A and B are shown apart, each in its own frame.
Chain A
Amino acid sequence: MKKLEEKIFKFLMIGSTALILSLLLYILYIILKKGLPSLSWEMISQIPSGGFYLGKEGGILNAIMGSLYLIFFSVLISLCISVPVVMYLNFTLRRKSKLAAIARLTFDVLFGIPSIVYGAFGFTLMIYFGLQASLLGGIIAISLLIIPVMIRSIDEVAILIPNELVEATKSLGATNYETIKVITRQLLPGISTAVLLSIGRGIGDAATVLFTAGYTDSIPSSLMQPTASLPLAIFFQLSSPIEEVQNRAYSAALVLTIIILILSFSARYFSRRLSKNKI
């Protein structure tokens, strides 16, 4: 009886593991199958001509560049906020401080808020300030989305820094700020992982940029111009009746997937380095 139950469950467990693995491989397979035939140098080096929805010519350079701009500036902004926040929570406030506990809860809640809400909120902000859908709007919305991701991810590593290290530095007469500079160096691998994670989350999210960044055929030349992005390139062009346009969507999907794969592998590399350097 005991044995039978274990056998049944083991069967179910192996089944579900196999199912999940094959489903996930199937996703990659479909994306590759659809994306590879249409992916070419022209595809990634040209902007669409004749309108992204109807024009048969051109590629997805507008979306690639747009996404890169968006994510680069958002990550920069988020870093300037997340790193100080984590440092403050861990190394300036006392352990078990109330503020730190409330702050962590707040960031956990922010982490769970759907991207569409960030998009809608970003949109209200823009209306309030009289902005049009633009690169700037997109950057603000994506920053809002990834700040909690970054804070949580860096915080996870910062919490592991032994108190002795902090005390040792302080006992040498370092001010809090100087201590934090030392610790930041220790945290660099953790911060890198957090950045990669945030890039992944930010670059692939469609709902935040939908309202805020707009979509256009060209590459933006100022913060006030609207910009294309990869997830929206997929979303919009997939619904087009024209096959060439759909192919642009599939190539964009493949490009996005490849970016995510690269990010994921580098994150693994960093976190492995991290665990080796752990004190």
Chain B
Amino acid sequence: MLKGRLRKDRIARHYMLTVTILAMFVLLLIGGGLLVKSLPIIQEKGLWTLLSTSNWRPFKGDFGFASYIVSTLYVTGIAIIIALPLSLLTSIYIIEYASPKILRAFSSVVDLLSGIPPVIYGVWGTLTIVPFISETLAPHFVEFSTGYSALAGGVVLAIMIIPLIISILMEVFGAVPKEMREASMSLGATKWQTVKKVVVRKSIPGIVAAVVLAISRAFGETIAVLMVCGNFTDLPKSIFDACYPIPALIANNYGEMMSVPKYESALMFAAFLLFFIIVVFNIISRIVLIQIDKRYQL
């Protein structure tokens, strides 16, 4: 009886350990697999040429990623610039000022919307943001824009990551102890002063974490951006120009990549680039957070 139980326990233990190691191994496997696949193109062109040139003529064997990298940064940057202030203001309002009823209602709305898939945001973007930019906004600034642009990509991404950021921020602000607010108020601070000097300060690690997650999400988002940003290979000159972020590049060309030599390798290099940047970014931000915690013990 006991023997049987112990054997079961041992099997379970082994299974759990194996699965854990395997699941962790996926990270290495993805990195390694994509790297191996992209080695041919790296060896032929050299890393620096791939990253710094912007000629993209797969049929002639030119693979320059510069314009894709710039586009990705453009779109992600626009998204964060729009989303972060809005999310901060909103979540502070909801947690600190709004009534419990509004808080409950709002958090269910946010939960709901953070679940809506990117492709839906993409549909919405093509139906509303793109025409709005081409007909209403762009004419004030440039001669012509189809609306399918870096700005459209950024706006759609922003709206997509706002629920994500808000749901984290609400949790972060909500976790600041009530006593801390009272301590500040009892010294004669107004509500706003308390929010500014105590709540936000205390929440800095959480805010950083939210931003990191949001950037990761925006950076690698494919479909929503692909549907609205125009996908035109060139360095975008203004936010009203079409752009072509890396994930869109991969998604758009997977069909034909088998027919051109080195094409597959180039696209896998693109995927590796995304992977590498996200991993490094996440690890750096983790280290920064630990440092903040050590130094300030917020």
Contact = CB atoms under 8 A, between A and B. Distances in A.
A125 B33 contact: yes
Interface residues of A, number: 86
Contacts of B124: 26-27, 30-31
Interface size class of B (residues with CB under 8 A): 35 or more
Contacts of A31: 120, 123-124
Interface in A228-262: 231, 234-235, 238, 249-250, 253, 256-257, 260-261
A260 B5 contact: no
Contacts of A84: 12, 15-16, 19-20
Majority DSSP secondary structure for residues of A touching B: helix
B283 interface: yes
B117 A260 contact: yes
B187 interface: no
B9 A206 contact: no
A147 interface: yes
Contact of A20 (B23, B121, B166, B222): B166
Contact of A175 (B6, B109, B159, B254): B6
Q: Which of A16, A234, A256 has the most CB of B within 10 A?
A: A16
A110 B20 CA distance: 13
A98 B205 CA distance: 22
A178 B30 contact: no
A116 B251 contact: yes
A19 B86 contact: yes
Contact of A110 (B26, B108, B123): B26
A209 to B, nearest CB: 10
B86 A260 contact: no
Contacts, number: 244
Nearest to A118: B30
B220 A114 contact: yes
Contact of A12 (B89, B94, B268): B89
Interface in B68-119: 85-87, 89-90, 92-94, 97-98, 106, 108-109, 111-113, 115-119
Interface in A163-212: 175-178, 180, 197, 200-201, 203-207, 210-211
**Most chain A beta-carbon contacts within 10 A, residue among B29, B117, B190:** B117
A231 B220 CA distance: 17
Contacts of A178: 5, 9
Contacts of A89: 20
A44 to B, nearest CB: 17
B222 A114 contact: yes
14 contacts: A12-B89, A23-B159, A31-B124, A34-B127, A81-B22, A106-B24, A114-B274, A120-B254, A124-B33, A204-B118, A204-B119, A238-B227, A265-B112, A268-B108
Given A20-B86, A112-B216, 11 more contacts: A9-B89, A108-B282, A112-B217, A112-B282, A113-B275, A115-B220, A124-B268, A176-B12, A180-B12, A257-B116, A264-B111
